[in-house]
């Protein structure tokens, strides 16, 4: 059994190694693509059946309120637009597919004036591929 001090040291060491960096990834359990530019508390605002915007609950004074977005139904969406979830997907290709799938003024405004500038600013270039979790039973 580990002492409280050993546990504290392990937590500190892990925290230092796991610094947040902006990312885009396929969340297989929720079947969505998540694009996250900032590690903070968010409110999810549904734009339409495909898009959800992640808004910072406590935005910086000069910072962006939008800190990410989610694309729901990623497996079907990617299949329909010939995007392979098992390989990295260029974020520009993904956003082009969103515009093609939902050609309306609100989606176009979101993609062109929020999503593209956000991913450019934080340097997210691709969606990380699907990682299939190990389905074998865990032993204690």
pTM above 0.85, yes or no: no
Look up residue 61 and give its two tokens: 């004074």
pLDDT tens-digit series, residues 26-71: 999 999 999 999 999 999 999 999 999 999 999 887 767 999 999 9
What pLDDT sits at residue 136? 47
pLDDT in the model for residue 129: 84
Beta strand segments in the chain, E? 23-27, 32-36, 42-46, 51-56, 66-72, 89-90, 126-127
Backbone φ/ψ region at 31: left (φ over 0), alpha (ψ -120 to 50), beta: left
Specify which residues 35 forms β-bridges with.
Answer: 24, 69
In this predicted structure, what is the pLDDT of residue 135? 46
């Amino acid at each position: 059994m580990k002492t409280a001090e050993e546990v504290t040291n392990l937590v500190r060491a892990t925290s230092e190694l796991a610094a947040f960096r902006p990312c885009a990834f396929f969340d297989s359990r929720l079947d969505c693509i998540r694009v996250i530019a900032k590690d903070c508390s968010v409110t999810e605002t549904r734009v339409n059946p495909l898009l959800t915007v992640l808004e910072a609950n406590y935005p910086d004074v000069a910072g962006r309120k939008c800190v990410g977005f989610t694309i729901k139904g990623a497996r079907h969406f990617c299949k329909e637009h010939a995007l392979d979830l098992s390989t990295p997907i260029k974020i520009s290709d993904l956003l082009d597919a969103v515009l093609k799938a939902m050609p309306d003024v609100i989606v176009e405004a979101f993609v062109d004036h929020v999503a593209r500038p956000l991913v450019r600013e934080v340097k997210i270039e691709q969606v990380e591929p699907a990682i299939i979790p190990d389905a074998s039973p865990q032993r204690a």
